[in-house]
Amino acid sequence: MAEKEPREKTRSDGSELGQTARQMRAAQPYIAAVWKLVGGAVVGVLGGHLLDRKLGTGPWLLVGLSFLGICVGFYGFLREMARLGRRK
């Protein structure tokens, strides 16, 4: 049998990426900004919960660190979105 040569993966416009890959690459900075928001909240909640269990302070460190984590995450999110807005 004759061996088939692999097809070229380049498109007519010369790009090697498909439409979905280009869209994912374009969305990546926005996904990273959302992860900053979520990450700040998660770190605050987990830190507060662990410190409350260790120190026996009830829900107060959980509430305080959750609020702080949400604020820090929101600040990072807004800062990243402003930076992305300036770039375009």
DSSP state of 62: H
- For residues 14 and 76, give the distance between their C-alpha atoms in angstroms, rounded to a whole number: 37
Tell whether the torsion through CA atoms of 72, 76, 81 and 85 is positive or negative. Answer: positive
Total-model pTM: 0.68
- For residues 36 and 32, give the distance between their C-alpha atoms in angstroms, rounded to a whole number: 6
Query: What tens digit of pLDDT does each residue of 28-38 get?
Result: 888 988 999 99
Query: Considering the chain, what is the average pLDDT of its residues?
Result: 84
- For residues 3 and 23, give the distance between their C-alpha atoms in angstroms, rounded to a whole number: 34
